[in-house]
């Protein structure tokens, strides 16, 4: 949230902007994002593929190092500026103060190393542990992430473990040096629902036990609903709505948040319920036209939305949105009604994905 300026925030992101130079032009993947994460809290970042949620988290942790990429703005971890640091200086941050869990545990792990060695590596490097101490710590870590028979598993290679077990190992590696901030980027997307629940429970438990701040990146609003304190919804590289989780679900203001929530098939619906869709697809991030980036897909878009870009405005209680005609307000309802009556006269066909 941008309203308060707490020096106490664990992670403070201000006006972060990440661009990539491509043969087609400059892609603005993250466009002026500000976000705070406090100790002990979980912040969810939600959006479709290509909305910039992964690039945002990677930029914040200095993991965007390609020569054709530019990262500007400010990222402070416990008050210390990270933007502008090279990989060498970031090594004191990575793993020790901020760690990451990735979507695909198989590619995140080194296939040719025993999992024990992958955990002790950072313990020995960062914490100067001896071989024996590091091994004992690794066994304890594996036990704490729920791996049965850790003394034996420590000698296993990643391919000998199931997907859920592998993700537990990557979490053990991330937790090894006691980071203050944990960024989990779609940590359960590749897993079954039953295993997904186990992993989310584990992350939650570890966060509480260690009073870590956590960023949970996902495209699944079901995952963030029960697991986060606050949620930021991203679209086209920007945060379009942000607030306490309950407010965001119950008093959502942005039509994109509304669309995302409406298109989820729910267990409580009877079979064959027609799903509402968000028509169209995310815009090309090269040469984004002026106006609200969601306007071409928005059911309430007016002329103003195509000319002016809405900025995040606070509606109280730390709830912010970037919309001129918000959901659930008289202006928003009026705009929806106006568009609906026009649709009646010139029927627009459903735009393909």
Partner 1 sequence: MAGSGTAALRRRDDILLTVEHLVVEFPVGRGARVRAVSDVTFDVARGETLGLVGESGCGKSTTARAIMHAPRPTSGRVVFDGRDLGRLGNEELRRVRPEMQMIFQDPISSLNPRRRIVDIVREGLDIWGRTEGADRRVAEILRDVGIDPETAGRRRPHEFSGGQCQRISIARALALEPKLLICDEPVSALDVSVQAQILNLLEDLKAAHHLTMLFIAHDLAVVKNISDRVAVMYLGKLCEVGPADDLYARPAHPYTAALLEAVPEPDPDVPVPETALAGDLPSPLAPPSGCRFRTRCPRAEERCALEEPQLRPLLTGDGGGPDAEHVVACHFPLVPAAEPAGGGAEPVDTAAP
Residues in contact with partner 1 by CB under 8 A are 48-49, 162-165, 192-198, 200-201, 219-223, 225-227, 245-246, 249-250, 259-261, 263-267, 269-279, 281, 350, 352-353
CB-CB contact of 322 with 238 (8 Å): yes
Q: Tell me how far, at minimum, the Cβ of 230 lies from partner 1, in Å.
A: 11
CA distance 299 to 305: 11
Nearer of residues 131 and 197 to partner 1, judged by Cβ:
197
Q: Among residues 50 and 95, whose Cβ is nearest to partner 1?
A: 50
Between 68 and 266, name the residue whose CB sits nearer to partner 1. Answer: 266
The token duo for 156 is: 């296993």
Min dist. Cβ of residue 266 to partner 1 (A): 6
| Ramachandran area for residue 33 (φ above 0: left; ψ -120 to 50: alpha; else beta) | beta
Which token pair is 271?
A: 């079979």
Q: Which residues touch 200 (CB under 8 Å, ≥6 apart)?
A: 187, 188, 223, 227
Q: State the minimum distance, in angstroms, from the CB of residue 114 to partner 1.
A: 20
Of the candidates 245, 319, 316, the residue with the CA atom closest to the CA atom of residue 41: 245
Q: Cβ(89)–Cβ(104) under 8 Å?
A: no
The total of other beta-carbon atoms located within 10 Å of residue 103's CB is 18
DSSP annotation string for 248-301: HHHS--SHHHHHHHHTS--TTSPTTPPPP---S-PPPSBSPPSS-TTGGG-TT-
The nearest distance, CB 256 to partner 1, in angstroms, is 9
CB closer to partner 1, 23 vs 330: 23
Minimum gap (Å) between residue 283 Cβ and partner 1: 12
The smaller minimum CB distance to partner 1, of residues 73 and 222, is found at 222
Phi first, then psi: give them for residue 119, nearest 5 degrees: -85, -45
Q: Tell me whether residue 182 or residue 247 sits nearer to partner 1 (CB atom).
A: 247
Which helix (H) or strand (E) element contains residue 112? Answer: none
* Comparison of 49 and 311: residue with beta carbon closer to partner 1: 49
Identify the three-state secondary structure at position 241: strand
Minimum separation from the CB atom of position 279 to partner 1 (A): 8
Closest approach of Cβ 117 to partner 1, in Å?
Answer: 23
């Amino acid at each position: 949230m941008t309203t308060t300026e707490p020096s106490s925030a664990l992670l403070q992101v201000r006006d972060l902007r990440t661009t990539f130079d491509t043969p087609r032009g400059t892609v603005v993947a993250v466009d002026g994002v500000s976000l705070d994460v406090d100790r002990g809290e979980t912040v969810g970042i939600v959006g479709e593929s290509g909305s910039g949620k992964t690039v945002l988290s990677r930029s914040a942790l200095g993991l965007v190092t390609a020569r054709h990429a530019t990262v500007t703005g400010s990222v402070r971890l416990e008050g210390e500026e990270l933007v502008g640091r090279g990989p060498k200086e970031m090594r004191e941050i990575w793993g020790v103060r901020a760690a990451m869990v990735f979507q695909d545990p198989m590619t995140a792990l080194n296939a040719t190393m025993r999992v024990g060695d992958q955990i002790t590596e950072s313990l020995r490097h960062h914490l100067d542990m001896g071989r024996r101490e590091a091994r004992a710590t690794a066994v304890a870590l594996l036990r704490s992430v729920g791996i049965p028979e850790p003394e034996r598993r420590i000698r296993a290679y990643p391919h000998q473990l199931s997907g859920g077990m592998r993700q537990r190992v990557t979490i053990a590696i991330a937790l090894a040096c006691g980071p203050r901030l944990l960024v989990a980027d779609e940590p359960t997307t590749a897993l079954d629902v039953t295993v997904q629940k186990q992993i989310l429970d584990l992350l939650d438990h570890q966060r509480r036990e260690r009073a870590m701040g956590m960023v949970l990146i996902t495209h699944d609003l079901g995952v963030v609903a029960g697991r986060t304190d606050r949620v930021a919804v991203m679209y086209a590289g920007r945060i379009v709505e942000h607030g306490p989780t309950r407010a965001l679900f119950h008093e959502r203001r942005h039509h994109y948040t509304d669309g995302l929530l409406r298109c989820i098939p729910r267990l409580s619906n009877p079979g064959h319920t027609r799903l509402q869709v968000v028509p169209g697809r995310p815009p090309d991030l090269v040469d984004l036209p002026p106006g609200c980036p969601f306007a071409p897909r928005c059911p309430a878009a007016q002329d103003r939305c195509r000319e002016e870009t809405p900025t995040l405005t606070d509606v109280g209680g730390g709830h912010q949105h970037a919309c001129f005609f918000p959901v659930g307000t008289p202006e928003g309802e009026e705009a929806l009604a106006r568009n609906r009556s026009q649709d009646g006269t010139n029927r627009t066909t459903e735009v393909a994905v």
